[in-house]
Amino acid sequence: MNFASDNVMGASAPVLEAIMATNSGPMPAYGADPLTQAIEERFRDIFERDVAVFLTATGTGANALALSALVPPYGMVLCHQEAHVIDDECGAPEFFMHGAKLVGLPGDDSKLAVTDVAAFLDGLTRREKQMPPRALSVAQLTESGTLYGLDEIAAICAAAHERGLKVHMDGARFANALVTLGATPAEMTWKAGVDVLTFGATKNGCLAAEAIVFFDPALAEPMRWLRKRGGHTLSKGRLLGAQFEGYLADDHWLDNARHANAMADRLAQGLTALPGFRLAFPRGGNEVFVVTKAARAAAMRAKGCVFNDWSAASIPEARAPASDEIVARLVASFAATPEGVDAFLAVAAQT
């Protein structure tokens, strides 16, 4: 009954099998192996265009390196005030950008509104006393498990581009968002105006594998040096390539996301059918955020249920928790089972 995070689970069988299949014998190091080269070509097929791809082992590293390729040390990056890049990465993006600043904007449901983005940018003097804005980072899914529609992504990207900013998408749960929208990877990224994507895989079945995808390869010119200097160029790079081989083959990554989303929907439907539970945020993928009494949450934990408390900062007033309530986050992974969900729901019903 552990729904604390999709990070608490291991790797899916096809990923592990791909690692074992490539484990024997020598291969060129530092990503020069044919497996990694083939995976980079696979990304070109997935996104329906020429892309520059750089594999890394962590999402924080991928986000920080991607932004460092877009923003000079004197620049500014806009994001939501609860975004992972500003609130959960220990300053890594600013460290890798050598002094560039992350600026967080408010917004309901952890989403940026295009009007707020435009108003903030238009309010800057663009004089040398202020850091010039150079990039905007948008999360898909957001920190509250919510989702940007394709039209919302396009509008935010257009507002950013009109004012000279590049757009980065933090896609830690990219696959979960994609299957919810029923869109293609191209439609949810470069066709909507995204310039660079952190393509997450670790949360959805890999051991430790993310990809930085540049939709304009010219923007990626410094990346091989930035990645090496940042400690993310693995000497045994084939182990990253192997993970992606197992992950992407036969649309396994999409199957994993569909399953995780379905288990999250089962959780959400089951909990909201019970008295004393209501959704804190609209569900966009494999995360469920519910409001319930703090005492009830404590009692469920005492019976073996595992989940995390969450911030209520971006919940609109009409959905905000009362003083004796908490927001609980439950995350369904690719490995979640109907039996595990139903066991959790049974405890909730009896508590």
Token output for 126: 């663009």
* Cβ contact 38:241 at 8 Å: yes
Residue 128: the pLDDT is: 87
The two beta strands, 76-80 and 101-105, are: parallel
Residue 104: the pLDDT is: 98
Beta bridge partners of 289: 329
Residue 214: the pLDDT is: 99
Residue 143: the pLDDT is: 97
> Whose structure tokens read 């939501």?
80
* Cβ contact 135:77 at 8 Å: yes
Among 224, 228, 175, which residue's Cα sits nearest to residue 46?
175
Amino acid occupying residue 350:
Q
Q: Which domains does the chain have, with CATH numbers?
A: 11-252 (3.40.640.10), 253-350 (3.90.1150.10)
Based on the number of CB atoms within 10 Å of its own CB, is 347 exposed (0-12), middle (13-18) or buried (19 or more)? middle
* Cβ contact 173:204 at 8 Å: yes
H helices of the chain, where? 13-21, 34-47, 59-70, 84-87, 92-96, 114-122, 150-162, 174-181, 223-229, 238-248, 252-272, 294-302, 338-350
* Cβ contact 195:219 at 8 Å: yes
195/317 Cα distance (integer angstroms): 34
* Cβ contact 343:304 at 8 Å: no
Residue 234: the pLDDT is: 95
Q: How many CA atoms lie within 13 A of 262 on its CB side?
A: 11
237 backbone dihedrals φ, ψ, rounded to 5°: -60, -25
Amino acid occupying residue 306:
V
| Angle, CA 55 vertex, CA 54 and CA 60 arms, to 5° | 100
Per-residue model confidence as pLDDT tens for the chain (351 residues): 999 999 999 999 999 999 999 998 999 999 999 999 999 899 999 999 999 999 999 999 999 999 999 999 999 999 999 999 999 999 999 999 999 999 999 999 999 999 999 999 999 987 888 999 999 999 999 999 999 999 999 999 999 999 999 999 999 999 999 999 999 999 999 999 999 999 999 999 999 999 999 999 999 999 999 999 999 999 999 999 999 999 999 999 999 999 999 999 999 999 999 999 999 999 999 999 999 999 999 999 999 999 999 999 999 998 999 999 999 999 999 999 999 999 999 999 999
333/344 Cα distance (integer angstroms): 14
User: CA torsion, points 139, 172, 165, 219, in degrees to nearest 10?
Assistant: -170
Residue 66: the pLDDT is: 99
Three-state DSSP at 169 gives: strand
* Cβ contact 348:269 at 8 Å: no
Q: How many CB atoms lie within 10 A of CB 93?
A: 28
